[in-house]
Structure 1
């Protein structure tokens, strides 16, 4: 009997890999294992659905049963893998053990939780999947004031969406401008002004130190001694790749699960992709790299030869108040930003000599995206 291919995880990486694999191989048994209900949905919509009044259940496009039928697969929902045995090529669930021919870790990443003092530190919300979002929406019912910790990509997206839905948003970040890891200061200030035009308050250069309960909600104490009040506190300070299972199995770990250009871990029968994986030192928790990896790994699982390549891939920031596309600068090149700003748009180009290595487009200059990305060298040729 043919042993199955097992994919652990039914997020964007897991489901899209399964779809790509089934285009090439209709017959090999395929199992997917997930800790949640296994619904198929678009994770980027979690930070852009409140203003349009889309309910969490509306974001689920297909159930696990529908996905199992579509993929010709067995999907094990509400199941946690407790152990991987690479030598025996088995995974252990709570009530059974499954053999595998090849195993794929598509387990994603966990939100980084802030280490804060105060009696309400455990009441801070995070949103990393559809179930988190359901719980968060329940907490928002009847609330008005929201403090968001983290003015990075996800924090700014939630701030824009929730502000447009009528909530009073305060965005807190120790950096001096929003999206500080992606944008140069002048571009970050441009974004800041557009968010402030929505009524969002930005407490930049301020780190949260403690969150405590009050008679009306929560009090957030900032490192400088200032305080602010909120009915809900959301943390959006970043993601940490999930590596526990891989580590317990003795696989090589760095920031993420270390894989080669074939998405193969340090064990030849085990692969990884998505937010949990690190390829040639790159851990890229964005949609386009995940799709690129799925298209590369599928033929490998089907017995063909393939290798992952990353072209330069722009990131769309879903902030309608300030439409933004960023092509991040990879590595630590010696270059500088050249910035052109008007009242309605800003173009920032990162160049080393005559070579364009990254860009940021804010406002009404989005039409230049394709022309610019074509000039940037591949991230992983």
Structure 2
């Protein structure tokens, strides 16, 4: 199913484990070099600067090619002709993508990422130009494209787009039903997002899915956030107002319950993250504490915004400093020191989300040669790889 060479992907996992073992001084440099030579790959994965250049160059070539073809067909037809041109170009881009991956062995090189995004963009834009597609129809197209790219290229960003597109289809479909379905929509979305979370969590533990670690991790994170978004009072209120045309002065059904969920869900995430030593749950929960503050601030003004921000920032700085000092020595399975095998996807920072697909990464997996586990996340191979 996956387009990349599976043996080489497995070798990349072994190489990553070797890098981590060497960083922990579990093996010598000579042992690492010998093992890497035994588990070599034929992928073309340049450094970050070349990847950036190849990504930009591929996009520029594609834009100019589409423009040139559009000029040659500018005699008439309008949007239908241009839409058909985009669909044709999407097929060309996908063929080029398969060629670069299967024949030229590009792996997160910048070129294959650019061709993937060009293909998807051209398909969506082409269909919208040829026919009038509803928001639900667009989400269906996005879901199908995202699922194909997820399975075929293990694209990490598709791990975000696929669950969002699926839940959007359900949400928009429920909006066309009766009043009861509108009331039940948040709870249905929470249930479906929970199912996505547990399924992705289960698949992450399965050996056949080891090459899908990055997209499955992002899918798990997205599902956690969507569970909270479906139960957040502000999100439910705005969705009812904008999409269900509910009167602004009319209270949303079960408003007290959504206020409860707004505070309760992040606390559950943090508690379970600490209990299970699950860094993803813990950090998503901490991230959603900011959503609680935003929701309360939107409806209730306790003080001028400048004072609230200064006071809140000061409290967070003090708490962070105390925790960092307290956890210098590991306690209860937690530490403030950076582990050599800490994954980029677990850090939940903006750079990981952006770099994950544009600049590639080696996924973690189990292998017969196990030097300690771990993964490099979506940030790319190390500098000397």
When the two structures are superposed, what TM-score results if normalisation uses the length of structure 1?
0.24
Indicate the structure whose relative CO is greater, using CA pairs within 8 Å and at least 6 residues apart: 2
When the two structures are superposed, what TM-score results if normalisation uses the length of structure 2?
0.24
Q: Could you say which structure has the higher helix fraction?
A: 2
Computing the radius of gyration over CA atoms, which structure comes out larger, 1 or 2?
2
